[in-house]
Amino acid sequence: MNRSLQWDIFCKVIDNFGDIGVCWRLCADLAGRGHKVRLWVDDASALGWMAPQGCAGVRVLPWCQPLELAAADLEAQPSEVMIEAFGCEIAPEFIASCAHAASATGQKTVWINLEYLSAEDYVERCHALPSPVQGGPAAGWLKWFFYPGFTPATGGLLREPDLAERQAGFDRRAWLTAQGIACQGEASGEKLVSLFCYEPPALAGLLRQFAHNGLDGQPVRLLVAAGRAEKAVKAALSHEIGLQPLMDERYQLSISYLDLLTQADFDHLLWSCDLNFVRGEDSVVRALWAGQAFVWQIYPQHDAAHLDKLQAFLDWLGAPESLRAFHARWNDGSHQQASDNVTTPDLPLWQACARTARARLLAQDDLTTHLLGLVAKNR
């Protein structure tokens, strides 16, 4: 698709900023390929630190009630593609405006429902299926279901066209120094581990394990993301008597608490570390592109449906038994004894697994390419 299109992406921030994170990466990727994007979001505050410079070609508009359609100038720039992200429902007045424009021009807006990421079997079956709109001003239109995924029969994963080039040119030492991290990995004999998590009960055991044993026979510097991960680590340190002296030089663990990172710097963090603990949807994709050993804390659901989703992902990944065992403990919601250590990470084996998976993914089209193909086919 060569012609620039006008996209409207609707996002509601539920919690943890994963929804807005994915939507912003998609917006920026589309804009980078020459398209114009309006991002309608009910809470854009996280973009102040995720993407403080904004992005040429992307306009952020408030998703309020009623929707301020005049701010979008729909008459001059009618919507050609509209996306409802992660189950949110597009404002009805916007749909009415699109239907009105279509009646005048004969050109319907391509309507896409962007679903959550999963490796489960249903994703291949349901990806790119149409659903007729039964009522309202857009009755008779089709809504297309778009499922991100890990195989060629799905919608793929977000991957910017210049990602490999940026990784190849990345200066790890310079970036760590800019973050005030003096160790710089190999130069000080430390293994770098990033921690972006919720509140896993296994966290105290992991901290104790790192403190007494290090990682692969080397001391660990833990780089802790701001927010819930930072609070979880500080709570573990204050609540567990056995973790009180972790900052003593006799121990194998040192901790650095990071400021809020832009999306670009979050990628840089993952590229810099020997082992990455990530959570949610956006960061596990970025961990895959980083090509380093990683552990995923999947978003917990009350009915434990997330565990089936996690198992499907580990099956696709071809995870070795040690990595499966670690994931089972890390994602266990029961409060076992804090002294229970998790499986010792096997960095060489886990990294080889991650890089094999990345190679398979790099041989497939990315999400935006799949999305552009779906739109071109149905316009």
Written as tens digits, the pLDDT of the chain (379 aa) is 468 999 999 999 987 788 999 999 999 999 999 999 999 999 999 999 999 999 999 999 999 988 989 888 888 899 999 999 998 999 999 999 999 999 888 889 999 999 999 999 999 999 999 999 999 999 999 999 999 999 999 999 999 999 999 999 999 999 999 998 865 445 568 999 999 999 999 999 999 999 999 999 999 999 999 999 999 999 999 876 555 555 555 579 999 999 999 999 999 999 999 999 999 999 999 999 999 999 999 988 888 889 999 999 999 999 999 999 999 999 987 655 544 667 899 999 999 999 999 999 999 999 999 999 999 999 8
Residue 181 covered by a domain: yes
CA distance 138 to 90: 12
Residues labelled as active-site residues: 19, 281
For the chain, the straight-line distance linking the first and the last C-alpha, in angstroms and rounded, comes to 11
Residues in the chain: 379
Domain match, 152 and 167 both: no
Domain that holds residue 200: 163-362
Torsion angle (degrees, nearest 10) of CA 18, 335, 248, 230:
20
Residues 112 and 194 in one domain: no
Please indicate, yes or no, whether residues 146 and 211 belong to a single structural domain of this protein: no
Domain check: are 192 and 335 in the same one? yes
CATH of the domain at 120: 3.40.50
Q: In what order do the strands lie in the sheet with 275-279?
A: 253-257, 220-224, 191-195, 275-279, 293-297
Q: Is residue 1 part of a domain?
A: no
Tell whether 25 is covered by a domain: yes
In this structure, the answer to whether residues 170 and 315 fall within a common structural domain is yes
What is the rounded distance in angstroms from the CA atom of residue 268 to the CA atom of residue 178?
Answer: 11
Same domain, 199 and 151: no
Q: Please report the pLDDT score of residue 191 as a whole number.
A: 95
User: How many Å apart are CA 365 and CA 350, to the nearest integer?
Assistant: 25
Assess whether 178 and 261 both reside in one domain.
yes
**Domain contains 100:** yes
Residue 76 included in any domain: yes
Residues 226 and 342 in one domain: yes
Nearest to 35 by CA among 9, 53, 12: 9
Within-domain flag for 28: yes
Q: Are residues 241 and 186 in the same domain?
A: yes
pLDDT number for residue 338: 46
How many Cβ atoms sit within 10 Å of the Cβ of residue 253? Answer: 24
Pair 144, 186 in one domain: no
> Are 167 and 147 in a shared domain?
no
Do 183 and 121 lie in a common domain?
A: no
Q: How many domains is the chain partitioned into structurally? A: 2
Torsion angle in degrees (nearest 10) through CA of 10, 11, 12, 16: 180
Rounded CA gap, 38 and 131, in Å?
A: 24
